[in-house]
């Protein structure tokens, strides 16, 4: 019997990844080696990573190379004492958070006060009780872990807040864009009928308080159906866009608004404008549309595109009179059409 063929690859055995928790790293600083030996003996069964330094300068050099969780620091050392080492550490933002416990034979009150004022978290005098020292170290390491966790939480929350603020800012921008598009005519890119109605209500209340007039111009492209029939709807759309932009250019004040009222009809709202001022704008509109020189061979009044315009003005009073203003402007528009088109009529 033929034995089964050996597999091309041996099945790999994947051992689980075991994350080894790093031991708390302690720096022991004393200029007497025998004192360091005693400290290491006291702490040898505490699961700490112990590193020693015999001088203040050596301690600062080690701090720049390692990340320590706590420093046990003697005070009376030649060249640079423990007070100076602590002062240097606490003035450096990279190391100021490392807890420092002074272990010293200096027991006078002034030294204890100086140690705490320099930023030490504890002050242990020699000879010390090993159990009490171990307990103090554990407490400070616990506090340090809690502080680091709090810092991580603060950083995380700050990032979350920053992201949320950015998202909310983008949402507000998007809402504004959507609101703007909701009030914009998609074809002509000027205000739509909804904007016309909202803006008229707003200005009506405004000018009623100010006792100032509002004028309105209603305009219609002459023989627009015939234009579409002759040149096609794409050309008709382009004609509407060009006329809408001419209407926008006719307005010189930001409070004046041109809207596409519907189909080939346009409406202009002119706050704080008497009838005479509105007529000037109407004449300007006709001139700008004439400058476009859009061919219209099916027109019965002119070989290029023209507008008929109706102008009306009212001093705002009751809210129902807004419709009166619209009706008056619309009536004047139909009067302009009835009187031959390509003209301005006013009430």
Whether 100 and 75 have beta carbons less than 8 Å apart is answered as: no
Please name every residue paired with 71 in a beta bridge, in sequence order, or none if there are none: 27, 100
Cα within 13 Å of Cα(142), Cβ side: 6
| Catalytic, out of 175, 255, 264, 276 | 264
| Backbone phi and psi for residue 184, each to the nearest 5 degrees, phi listed first | -115, 140
Report the candidate in 240, 144, 234 with the shortest Cα–Cα distance to residue 192.
240
Separation of alpha carbons 246 and 151, rounded Å: 60
The string of DSSP letters for 16-43 reads PPPPPPPPPEEEEE-S-HHHHHHHHHHH
125: left (phi over 0), alpha (psi -120 to 50) or beta: beta
What residues contact 230, with CB distance under 8 A and at least 6 apart? 297, 298
- 147 is annotated as an active-site residue: no
Whether 309 and 333 have beta carbons less than 8 Å apart is answered as: yes
The string of DSSP letters for 162-199 reads HHHHHHHHHHHHHHHHHHHHHTB-TTT-SB-HHHHHHH
Enumerate the active-site residues: 264
């Amino acid at each position: 019997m033929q034995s089964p063929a050996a597999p091309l690859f041996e099945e790999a055995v994947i051992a689980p990844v075991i994350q080894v928790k790093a031991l708390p790293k302690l720096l022991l600083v004393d200029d007497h080696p025998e004192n360091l030996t005693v400290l290491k003996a006291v702490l040898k069964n505490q699961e700490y990573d112990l590193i020693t330094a015999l001088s203040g300068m050596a301690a600062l050099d080690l701090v720049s190379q390692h990340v320590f969780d706590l420093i046990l620091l003697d005070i009376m050392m030649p060249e640079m004492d423990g007070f100076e080492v602590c002062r240097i550490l606490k003035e450096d933002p990279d190391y100021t958070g490392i807890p420092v416990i002074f272990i010293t034979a200096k027991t006078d009150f002034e030294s204890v006060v100086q140690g705490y004022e320099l930023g030490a978290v504890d002050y242990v005098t020699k000879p010390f009780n090993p159990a009490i020292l171990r307990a103090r170290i554990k407490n400070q390491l616990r506090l340090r872990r809690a502080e680091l966790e709090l810092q991580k939480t603060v950083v995380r929350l700050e990032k979350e807040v920053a992201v949320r603020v950015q998202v909310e800012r983008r949402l507000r921008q998007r809402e504004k864009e959507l609101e703007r598009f909701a009030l914009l005519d998609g074809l002509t890119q000027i205000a739509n009928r909804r904007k016309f109605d909202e803006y008229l209500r707003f200005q009506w209340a405004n000018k009623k308080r100010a006792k100032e007039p509002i004028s309105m111009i209603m305009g219609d492209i002459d023989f627009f159906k015939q234009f579409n029939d002759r040149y096609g709807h794409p050309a008709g759309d382009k004609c509407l866009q060009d006329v809408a932009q001419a209407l926008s250019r006719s307005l010189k004040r930001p409070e004046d608004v041109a809207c596409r009222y519907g189909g080939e009809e346009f409406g202009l709202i002119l706050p704080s404008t008497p009838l005479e001022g509105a007529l000037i704008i109407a004449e300007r509109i006709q001139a700008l549309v004439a400058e476009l020189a859009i061919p219209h061979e099916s027109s019965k009044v002119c070989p290029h595109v023209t507008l008929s315009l109706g102008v009306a003005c009212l001093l705002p009073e009751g809210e129902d009179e807004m419709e009166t203003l619209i009706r008056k402007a619309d009536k004047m528009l139909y009067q302009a059409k009835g009187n031959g088109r390509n003209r301005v009529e006013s009430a």
